[in-house]
Amino acid sequence: MKRPDHFAKRILMSALGVVICGISVGMFKHAALGVDPFQTLMSGLDAVVPLNFGTLYVVANLLLLLFALALDRSKIGLATLINLFLLGYIAQFSQGCVAKLMPDPSLPARFALLIAAIVIMCLASAFYFTADLGVSTYDAVALIWSQRQKRIPFFACRVITDLVCVVLGIALCLIAGYSMGRISAEVNIGTIITAFFMGPLIEVFNRKVARPFLER
């Protein structure tokens, strides 16, 4: 049985997870070496929709929230709402701060920023998932799909949704007239690294940091 203070800890872990994740997204974008698949889609939408990134993030996630509510409300919780209304604005603010600190980073500095962003995002995800107070609206899509289609494992559903996000993101950037050089800032080595290494890193942070913090 969980101790009485665990719910307060879980709220804290959810809030910290979203804030730290938002910071890492801003770092990803400034490193310009690729972002995760969902952020690739958001970058494509940002290129064609006349809204600032923070507001656009809220609108896109509201649409995904409606999808999740219609099919499986159990995936929606307090953490979902915190993610929905805070992450986009934190990412926007974080990118501005990093741009002021590193206005014209060299390639090695961009790689260092990318690696730091990946580590920070994995740590944030570990806190967020371990808190178990709901999932992000994007995570809910693959979870609901895998549970409704028993023959398709979650991993396959997540790969497919990630690929769809990347393809749509690139298509929207092309529609907006982005050059391939600019598109490569969104779909690059960072996108590949997050696809293959985030899972193991999140599990390490779960085991070594998030779970001990919750149970302490």
Predicted confidence (pLDDT) per residue in 16-54, tens digit? 888 898 899 899 889 888 878 888 898 899 889 988 887
Write down the pLDDT at residue 84.
78
Sequence-ordered list of residues with C-beta below 8 angstroms from that of 173, at least 6 positions apart, any chain: 43, 44, 47, 182, 183, 186
Q: What is the pLDDT of residues 178-196, one digit of tens each?
A: 887 777 767 788 888 887 7
Long-range pairs for 138-143 at CB < 8 Å and ≥24 separation?
138/38, 138/61, 138/64, 139/75, 140/64, 140/67, 140/68, 140/72, 140/75, 140/76, 140/80, 141/64, 141/67, 141/68, 143/72, 143/75
Write down the pLDDT at residue 25.
87
Sorting pLDDT into bands at 50, 70 and 90, what band is 5?
Answer: low
Q: What is the pLDDT of residues 120-177, one digit of tens each?
A: 988 988 887 788 787 788 878 887 888 787 777 777 887 788 888 888 988 999 998 8
Write down the pLDDT at residue 10.
87
Predicted structure pTM score: 0.75
